[in-house]
């Protein structure tokens, strides 16, 4: 009876442990999928800042940049969008893409850079995102903007004097300008990160619930623009969760085998211990009787 009870307790414990481990593996791979997708879009967005202010002059650089996420598991391509060559800034046009929907198998383009408008699940939100990015950027840079303007005026004034004695002061002002400029870019990066995300939105769950098509997106803001219009474009990275989901299932199968092996070893050890205890209990009365018969 004790053996059956101990076996039942061991079985229930192993089931609970296995379920917890399974959930941990699911959470790990979901986090890995989301973090790598977010990092990829954020990295491309930071690099694209220097090109999207004048995309028509930087088409080669943008084209190369669109290839950077192709090595990630499940990658279906990255698309860089921005205002069109002759269109309002609140419209999104494709400037570069490695997405199979916009790139044929032979590498030929299925879009006209700066003239083909992108229409996807994010398009309906672009107007709201642009307004939010510009508004947040204006608030974030409210104090920094006047400082940069003051330093810029000082630099212009020193340059117009054309005096050798002003070289040291000019170098100092230039260093200050670089520091402020770098700070401004960092603050803009924080603003755009707050408006980055993924579709469908992920809240807990597992990779199995994401399906085969997830769109990561990250706005691009250019510090040089100003005038209340910081937004310059969007990075879209389309990705399938299936490859990482396959890895997750493989890891869960390995964990299940390990749990079964551990259970078998534990069960054998348990019954061996019970058998030993039973043997000791059965032999103890005989030893007592023998001791009593001695003179």
d(CA 109, CA 105): 10
Q: What is the pLDDT of residue 244?
A: 83
Buried/exposed 98-107: b ≥16 CB within 10 Å, e otherwise? bbeebbeeee
- Residue 224, pLDDT > 80, answer no
- Looking at per-residue pLDDT, the higher value among 222 and 258 belongs to 222
Q: Which residues make beta-bridge pairs with 94?
A: 81
- Could you read off the pLDDT of 152-206 as tens digits, one per residue? 777 777 777 766 556 777 777 778 878 888 888 899 999 999 999 999 877 666 7
Residue ranges of the domains in the chain? 20-248
Assign residue 221 a region (left: φ > 0; alpha: ψ between -120 and 50; beta: otherwise).
Answer: beta
- Residue 124, pLDDT > 80, answer yes
- Residue 79, pLDDT > 90, answer yes
d(CA 78, CA 233): 13
In order of 3, 71, 159, 163, 243, the CA distances from 156 in angstroms are: 90, 46, 5, 13, 56
d(CA 248, CA 210): 14
Quote the percentage of the chain above a pLDDT of 70: 76
Q: Which two tokens stand for residue 291?
A: 């001791």
The gap from C-alpha 111 to its chain's centroid, in whole angstroms, comes to 28
- Residue 292, pLDDT > 70, answer no
Q: What is the pLDDT of residue 60?
A: 94
Specify the pairing of strand 197-199 against strand 93-97. unpaired
- Could you read off the pLDDT of 239-263 as tens digits, one per residue? 998 888 888 887 777 776 766 666 6
Model pTM? Answer: 0.77
Q: What is the pLDDT of residue 289?
A: 46
Contacts by 63-67, CB closer than 8 A, 24 or more apart:
63/96, 65/96, 66/96, 66/97, 66/98, 67/98
Q: What is the pLDDT of residue 201?
A: 78
Q: What is the pLDDT of residue 272?
A: 67
């Amino acid at each position: 009876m004790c053996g059956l009870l101990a076996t039942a307790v061991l079985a229930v414990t192993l089931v609970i442990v296995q379920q917890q481990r399974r959930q941990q593996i699911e959470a790990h791979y979901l986090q890995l999928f989301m973090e790598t997708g977010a990092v990829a879009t954020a990295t491309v967005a930071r690099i694209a800042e220097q090109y999207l202010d004048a995309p028509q002059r930087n088409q080669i650089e943008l084209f190369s940049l669109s290839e950077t996420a192709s090595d990630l598991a499940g990658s279906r391509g990255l698309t860089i969008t921005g205002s069109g060559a002759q269109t309002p800034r609140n419209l999104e046009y494709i400037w570069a893409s490695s997405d199979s929907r916009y790139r044929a198998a032979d590498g030929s383009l299925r879009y006209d850079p700066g003239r083909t408008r992108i229409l996807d699940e994010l398009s309906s939100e672009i107007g709201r995102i642009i307004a939010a990015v510009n508004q947040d950027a204006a608030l974030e840079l409210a104090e920094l903007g006047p400082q940069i303007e003051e330093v810029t005026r000082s630099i212009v004034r020193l340059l117009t004097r054309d005096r050798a004695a002003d070289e040291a002061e000019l170098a100092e002002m230039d260093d200050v300008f670089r520091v402020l400029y770098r700070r401004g870019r960092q603050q803009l990066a924080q603003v755009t990160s707050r408006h980055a995300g993924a579709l469908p939105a992920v809240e807990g769950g597992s990779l199995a619930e994401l399906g085969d098509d997830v769109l990561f997106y990250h706005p691009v803001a250019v510090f040089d623009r100003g005038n209340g219009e910081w937004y310059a474009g969007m990075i879209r990275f389309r990705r399938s969760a299936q490859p990482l989901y396959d890895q997750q299932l493989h890891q869960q199968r390995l964990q299940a085998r390990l749990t079964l092996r551990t259970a078998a070893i534990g069960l054998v050890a348990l019954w061996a211990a019970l058998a030993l205890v039973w043997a000791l209990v059965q032999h103890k009365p005989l030893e007592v009787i023998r001791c009593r018969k001695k003179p």
